């Protein structure tokens, strides 16, 4: 199970984020998944695959060349952890600010609970403070 979960999280970052393949979201994310650490427009955790698709579309529009490199993966039982580095250039306006054309480089960790081969719940701790500082927002 641990090796399958490791493969799932690597595939998630490659297909969904790096390749921008939104069609893969349904293959890897349960419809009622809760994604902590990513917020919907109300400031609440992203809940459900449709809410995640909206978040994903907005973030990918702002950073169409995003590259998430999975540095380490650890798995035990139904949980898998990925330590990541993220690089991108802010060329879209979908995050509520004009495109800055600034490059960002930050890190993060995702802890994922897997159920029936799909992501059921996730806890994300990505350094959005550093990202926002690099964009000149803060």
Contact status, residue 17 vs residue 68, Cβ threshold 8 Å = yes
Task: Provide the residue-wise pLDDT of the chain in tens; the chain has 138 residues.
Answer: 799 999 999 999 999 999 999 999 999 999 999 999 998 888 889 999 999 999 999 999 999 999 999 999 999 999 999 999 999 999 998 777 899 999 999 999 999 999 999 999 999 999 999 999 999 988
The CA distance from 25 to 22, in Å, is: 5
pTM of the model: 0.94
R_g of the chain, CA atoms, integer Å = 14
Question: Residue 92 and residue 113: Cα distance in Å, rounded?
Answer: 31
2-135 adopts what CATH topology? Nuclear Transport Factor 2; Chain: A, (3.10.450)
Cα distances from 43 to residues 16, 37, 105, in angstroms, run: 22, 10, 24
């Amino acid at each position: 199970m641990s090796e399958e979960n490791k493969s799932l999280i690597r595939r998630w970052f490659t297909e969904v984020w790096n390749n921008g393949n939104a069609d893969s979201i349904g293959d890897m994310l349960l419809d009622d998944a809760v994604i902590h650490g990513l917020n919907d427009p109300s400031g609440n955790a992203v809940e459900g695959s449709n809410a995640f698709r909206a978040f994903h579309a907005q973030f990918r529009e702002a950073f169409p060349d995003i590259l998430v490199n999975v540095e380490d993966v650890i798995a035990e039982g139904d949980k898998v952890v990925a330590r990541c580095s993220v690089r991108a250039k802010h060329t879209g306006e979908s995050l509520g600010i004009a495109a800055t054309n600034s490059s960002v480089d930050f890190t993060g960790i995702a802890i994922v609970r897997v159920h029936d081969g799909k992501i059921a719940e996730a806890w994300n701790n990505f350094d959005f403070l550093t990202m926002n500082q690099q964009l000149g927002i803060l």
